[in-house]
Amino acid sequence: MKRKLDQNDEPSPSTSATEEPASKESTTKPEQQTTTEPSFDQLGLDPRLVQAVAKQNFEKPTLVQRKAIPLALDGQDVLCKAKTGSGKTAAYVLPALSTILKKKATDSTPSTAALILVPTRELADQVFKAVQEFSAFCTKDIQASKLTENVSDAVLRSLLANVPDIVVATPARAWHSVDTSALSLEKLQYLILDEADLLLSYGYDEDMENLSRSLPKGVQTIMMSATLSTELDTLKGILCRNPTLLDLKEDLGPEDEKLTQYYIKCAEDDKWLISYLIFKLQLIKGPCLVFVTDIDRAYRLKLFFEQFSIRSCILNSELPVNTRIKVVEEFNKGIYDIIIASDEKSGVFADKKEADAEEEQAEDNSKSKKAETADGEAESAQPKKKRKTSKNKKDDEYGVSRGIDFKNVAAVINFDLPTSSSSYIHRIGRTARAGRAGIAISFVIPTELYGKHRPTSIKSCENDEKVLGKIIKSQAKQGRTLEPYNLNKDQMEAFRYRMNDALRAVTKVAIREARTKELRRELLRSETLKRYFEENPAELAHLRNDGELGRAMRQQPHLKHVPDYLLPKEGKNALTSNDVGFVPFRKEGGKQRHKKGGKKGGFKVGSRKRDPLKTFRARKK
C-alpha cells in the first residue's frame, strides 16, 4: 500500500516513491518547526560536515534536506523535486561528502567517488563553492575539482592528476575528461544531476549517453530539480535508474507566502515607460533582476536606463564565464542593484510546442508510477526514446534563471515574459529564496496590442496572454496567485515624452556599439589573451582605440532628472480607487517616509502592509 510520509516521518529504505508532506514547517517558516524534526546532527552526517553547516549559520535542515539526506545516506537513488531556493544543493552535497568521508576512514586509495553534473558553468562554479564550504573542516580528506573551462588536454590532465574525490562539471566537460582519460569513473559511487530536467534540453544528450556507458555498476544516482519534465524520464532511461521520487510540495497558506506576484498588462512601449518609472522613482529599492528575451534587448534596456542615470549591469551568454561569475558575485555583494539578464534559455522549453502540456503529462506520469512503485511493483525501465539532439547545442553553457543563488533579490521583473510556465518558475525562483521575501512583476502584452508598437515589439511576446494563463494555472497548483498591478495611466502620461526621447536615442547602431564595447573590454581583460597581446602590441592598440563610449548614442542630460512638476501633488486616493498593488507617486500629504532613526525609507518586500509599491518616495534630483 502506498504510504504517505508526514513531516515527522524519517524516510526509510522502504519509503514509497511518493512524498506529499504538505508541510507548513518548511524553510520559509523555520520558527514553526516542531521539536521532533531532526536537526543536522541527527541526520547521520559526518560531524565535520555538521560543523561546516553550523558555520554557514544553517540552523535547521530545510524540508528537502530533511527528506533527501537520509535517503541518500541510505544508498537509495533519489529523484527529488523541490521548490527553487529550498536548499537542494546541501541536500545532495552533504550526503555525498559524508559517504566519501566514511569510505576514506577505511580506504584511502585516491579515487573519484562523486560526479556532480550541472547544466551551466555558473552553476558549476556555485556548486563547487558549496562543496568547498561544506568540506571546510575536512579539507585533508576531501579534494574537489571543477571542470568548466575549455582548457587544453594537458591542463585538464594536470587538473585531475591528484584524483579528486568529487568533480563538479557540465556533462560536456565531464565526458571530454573521461574520453581523454583525464578522469576515471571506475570507482564512482555517486552520480548527482542538478537541474536534472535541464541537462538534456541544453543539448547534453550525447554526453549523458556516453557518460552513462562509462559508469561502473551500482552507482547511486541523485537527481534534483524544481520542475519535472519528460526529459527526466529520458534521463532515467539513459541511466537505467529507478529512483525513489521525492515530490516535495510545501503547502503554505497565504500568510506564509513570501513571494508576491504581480502582472502588468500594457502596450509594448508602456513597458519601457513603467520600467523607467519603477526604477527612476524608486518604486522598487534593493537588488533587482530584470529578465529580457535576448542580448540586444538587454543592451537596449541598459542604454535606455543609462539616459535616466539608472545604472545596471548585463548578464548574457556572450560574456566570458569568469565575467558572468564575477557579475553574480558583485551583485551578491551589493555592488550592482540591477542586473539585466537575457534569459536566452527560456526558449528551451518553448521550442517544443507542447512544452507545458508535456510538463503536466510528466507530472501525471510520475504520479501513476508512484502508485505502481508504492504497490511494490518494480517500475519498468523506460523504453529508450529516440533522442533528438537539442537545437540548443550551439548555445554556450550559460544559464541565469536556473539554480543561480542570487542573494537577497528584492524583485524579479519579467520585462519580457518567458514563453513557458517552467521558465517562469525558475526566473521568479531567484527571489524569495531561503525563507526571504520577494516580489515578481511580469509584463504581459495583450494579444490585441502585440505588434502595435514596432520599435519595441518582440516576437517572444506574441503569446503573452496564453502564457500568462498557463503561469496562473501552474502557480495555482502551488497555492499561489498573481495579482494585477494597477497603475494610474494618466499619471504615467506626464513621463511619456521623456521615455520616447530616450527610446529614440537607443538606435541599433548604439546597441551594436555597446555590445562590441563590452566584448572588447572583456578581451582586453582576458588573461588568456595577455601573452598574445604582448606579442602583437599593434592589435592591442587597435582594440583599445577602436571606438569611444556612447559615440553612437545621442546624449540627453536633461533626462537624468525628474522635474518636480511631473510628480503629481495629490495623494494616492485621488489617483485611484483600486488599492491593490497600486503605485502612489507621492506619499499622502506629500511627506516623505523615513525609517526609524531618521534614515531614508526603503521597503520591505513580501509584506502587504509594507508593500514596496505602496511606500514610494520619489527621488528628486
Ligand X SMILES: Nc1ncnc2c1ncn2[C@@H]1O[C@H](COP(=O)(O)OP(=O)(O)OP(=O)(O)O)[C@@H](O)[C@H]1O
Residues that bind ligand X (CB under 6 A): 58, 60-62, 65, 84-90, 226, 403, 405, 429, 433-434
Burial 79-100, CB ≥16 within 10 A → b, else e: bbbbbbbbbbbbbbbbbbbbbb
Alpha helices for 478-564 (secondary structure H): 489-493, 496-505, 508-525, 530-535, 537-545
What's the maximum distance between 2 C-alpha atoms anywhere in the chain? 77
Q: Which is nearer to ligand X, 61 or 171 (CB)?
A: 61
Instruction: Report the C-alpha gap between 512 and 296 in whole angstroms.
Output: 8
Q: What type of residue is 405?
A: D
Q: Which is nearer to ligand X, 53 or 467 (CB)?
A: 53
- Return the residue matching grid coordinates 548614442: 553
**Cβ 120 to ligand X shortest distance, Å:** 11
Q: Is 524:543 a contact under the CB 8 Å cutoff? A: yes
Q: Which is nearer to ligand X, 88 or 369 (CB)?
A: 88
**Cβ 521 to ligand X shortest distance, Å:** 30
Q: Is 207:390 a contact under the CB 8 Å cutoff? A: no
Q: Which is nearer to ligand X, 65 or 423 (CB)?
A: 65
Q: Which is nearer to ligand X, 30 or 568 (CB)?
A: 30
**Cβ 399 to ligand X shortest distance, Å:** 11
Closest CA to 197 of 223, 231, 241: 231
**Cβ 321 to ligand X shortest distance, Å:** 18
3-state secondary structure of 193: strand
Q: How far apart are the first and last CA of the chain?
A: 68
Q: Which is nearer to ligand X, 210 or 442 (CB)?
A: 442
Q: Which is nearer to ligand X, 343 or 405 (CB)?
A: 405
Closest CA to 193 of 222, 232, 229: 222
Q: Is 33:25 a contact under the CB 8 Å cutoff? A: yes
**Cβ 196 to ligand X shortest distance, Å:** 11
**Cβ 56 to ligand X shortest distance, Å:** 6
**Cβ 103 to ligand X shortest distance, Å:** 24
Region class of 506: left (phi > 0), else alpha (psi between -120 and 50), else beta: beta
**Cβ 421 to ligand X shortest distance, Å:** 15
**Cβ 90 to ligand X shortest distance, Å:** 5
CB atoms within 10 A of CB 209: 16
Chain CA centroid to CA 155, Å: 31
Q: Which is nearer to ligand X, 88 or 614 (CB)?
A: 88
Work out whether strand 313-315 and strand 288-292 pair parallel, antiparallel, or are unpaired.
Answer: unpaired
Q: Which is nearer to ligand X, 195 or 205 (CB)?
A: 195
Backbone φ and ψ of 574, nearest 5° = -75, -15
The conformation of residue 215, written as its DSSP 8-state character, comes to P
CB atoms within 10 A of CB 375: 11
Q: Which is nearer to ligand X, 89 or 229 (CB)?
A: 89
Q: Is 178:103 a contact under the CB 8 Å cutoff? A: no
Instruction: Please state, in angstroms and as integers, the Cα–Cα distance from residue 398 to each residue in 44, 83, 392, 551, 553, following that order.
Output: 36, 21, 11, 30, 29
Q: Is 390:200 a contact under the CB 8 Å cutoff? A: yes
Residue 576: partners with Cβ closer than 8 Å, 6 or more residues away: 486, 488, 582
Instruction: Return the H-helix or E-strand segment holding 146.
Output: strand 144-147
**Cβ 404 to ligand X shortest distance, Å:** 7
- The grid coordinates listed for 445 are 502584452
Q: Which is nearer to ligand X, 307 or 442 (CB)?
A: 442
Q: Which is nearer to ligand X, 60 or 157 (CB)?
A: 60
The conformation of residue 453, written as its DSSP 8-state character, comes to S
Instruction: Report the C-alpha gap between 193 and 418 in whole angstroms.
Output: 24
Q: Which is nearer to ligand X, 58 or 279 (CB)?
A: 58
Q: Is 18:80 a contact under the CB 8 Å cutoff? A: no
**Cβ 330 to ligand X shortest distance, Å:** 16
Instruction: Report the C-alpha gap between 577 and 582 in whole angstroms.
Output: 9
Describe the chain by its helix, strand, coil percentages, rounded to 5: 45, 10, 45
Q: Which is nearer to ligand X, 285 or 427 (CB)?
A: 427
Instruction: Return the H-helix or E-strand segment holding 334.
Output: none
Burial 13-39, CB ≥16 within 10 A → b, else e: eebbbbbebebebbbbbbeebeeebbe
**Cβ 226 to ligand X shortest distance, Å:** 4
Q: Which is nearer to ligand X, 127 or 492 (CB)?
A: 127
**Cβ 475 to ligand X shortest distance, Å:** 16
**Cβ 227 to ligand X shortest distance, Å:** 9
**Cβ 535 to ligand X shortest distance, Å:** 43
**Cβ 62 to ligand X shortest distance, Å:** 5
Chain CA centroid to CA 582, Å: 28
Q: Which is nearer to ligand X, 87 or 347 (CB)?
A: 87
